[in-house]
Structure formats: structure tokens, C-alpha cells
Amino acid sequence: MARTTLTGHWIRITPAGHVASSLPVAEVGVFQDDAHRHFTPLIDDRRREARDGWKHELISHDEWLQRAQPCLTGQCDHQEPTSA
């Protein structure tokens, strides 16, 4: 059986569109709920984030370079979140 290598990155996005954090998909897996749980371990915090409009997306490395890297290095134009 061929082994599949997971590639790409999960990104955690504030309601304003700022990428607040990122993880390789190989560390988390392919399911959005698992990524959310990894980024935000407490269920009450996950519910609050979902209610407030935080998102989690699985993106390619090329898209990560365009969307996530500027935010994670302080070079984007988004508003920083007041709480995470």
C-alpha cells in the first residue's frame, strides 16, 4: 500500500482576516475540527471563536506564503486581534 504524505498548512484566521497562527497539516491531520481543537484546546474557547467568526483553512504552501507569512511576520495590513 502506498503511503500518503500530508502537505499544506492549517491557518487560524481572525474575523478581520488576520492569520493568527499556522501549523503543518502533518501535525494536525486533514479535519477542520481537529485543527480547531489543536489551536484552541478548551471547548468553551472554541465555541466562542466559532460564534465570533474565527475560521480555520487548509491551504497549500504557496498560498501560505501569500496569505499567512505576511501576517505571521507582522507585514500585513490587518487589525491585530484584541484576544485569542
The predicted-structure confidence for 34-65, as pLDDT tens digits, reads as follows: 999 999 999 999 999 999 999 999 999 999 99
In this structure, is residue 83 part of a structural domain? no
In this structure, is residue 56 part of a structural domain? yes
In this structure, is residue 77 part of a structural domain? no
In this structure, is residue 49 part of a structural domain? yes
H or E segment at 41?
A: none
In this structure, is residue 80 part of a structural domain? no
Closest CA to 5 of 62, 72, 67, 61: 61
pTM of full prediction above 0.75:
yes
What's residue 25's pLDDT?
94
In this structure, is residue 18 part of a structural domain? yes
AA identity, residue 43: I
- Band of residue 83 on the pLDDT scale cut at 50, 70, 90: low
Range of the domain at 22: 9-72
Sign of the CA dihedral running 11, 60, 62, 15: negative
Sign of the CA dihedral running 30, 81, 51, 70: negative
Closest CA to 10 of 35, 47, 34: 35
Task: Please count the structural domains in the chain.
Answer: 1
